Amino acid sequence: MTKIISYNVNGIRAAVKKGFMEWLDAADPDVVCIQETKAQADQIPVFEFEAMGYKTYVYSAQKKGYSGVAILSKKEADHVEYGMGISDYDFEGRFIRADYGDFSVVSVYHPSGSSGDLRQAFKMQWLADFQLYIGELRKQRPHLVVSGDYNICHEAIDIHDPVRNSKISGFLPEERAWMSGFLETGFIDSFRHLNKDPHHYSWWSYRANARANNKGWRIDYNMVTDNLTDKIQLAGILPQAMHSDHCPVFVEMDV
């Protein structure tokens, strides 16, 4: 069984100060997909991860203290792909892929559009380009888990107040339509595959005591290619891990 965790840590150095290492040791995943490291490669605690049995693969943004993704893995990858080969996106350190035999894991950090129209336009262009990229990638790497912060709630069940948030970036009709289209290309939302209940979220605003009141958004996913559907054994969300404004999401697979 392989346990994969995806976690937007909102700054790896800040998360470590809040007990991330101790949590990781207890959680004991095989692969961890991290987003928003907000660190350059030399600021990642690689030696500490190594002491815990993890190989560390890091892809940072050019801009310091911004974005960045990483994969921690107990098994050494056969190959690691850093970025998508699209300079506008790779400049922001948003994509890393690790291959293990015929199975691949991606850690991805989709842009947020919440800061204004320019970034929302950037996000929509990214979504279109990302879907094309993944479509091509699947021809070479058909068995994929694409884990990360998608910055989109898919359905009304995935957000605490769907009516009031219907015009907010992250729950816009065009973003939700993109998510539906992405799934239709042959992906399984591993959490929803096994869990149909409401009130499960992976991100909460720091404002208005949102987390304590569970007024959240489910924007973090482990998306699994549909040729691996029968391999999904367990999927869940870990809101008790509190090193970030996000919490970890996991999938356990028989791969």
Positions marked catalytic: 149
Identify each DSSP E strand in 15-123 by its residue range: 31-35, 55-59, 69-73, 79-82, 95-100, 103-109
Nearest-angstrom CA–CA distance, 174 and 197? 24
- How far is the C-alpha of 242 from the C-alpha of 88, rounded, in Å? 32
Say if residues 97 and 84 touch (Cβ distance below 8 Å).
Answer: no
Q: Given the DSSP bridges, would you call strands 216-217 and 143-149 parallel, antiparallel or unpaired?
A: unpaired
Contact at 8 Å (CB) between 244 and 8? yes
DSSP 8-state symbol, 246: B
* Ramachandran region, residue 110 (left: φ > 0; alpha: ψ -120 to 50; beta: rest): beta
* ∠ Cα 193 220 83 (to 5°): 115
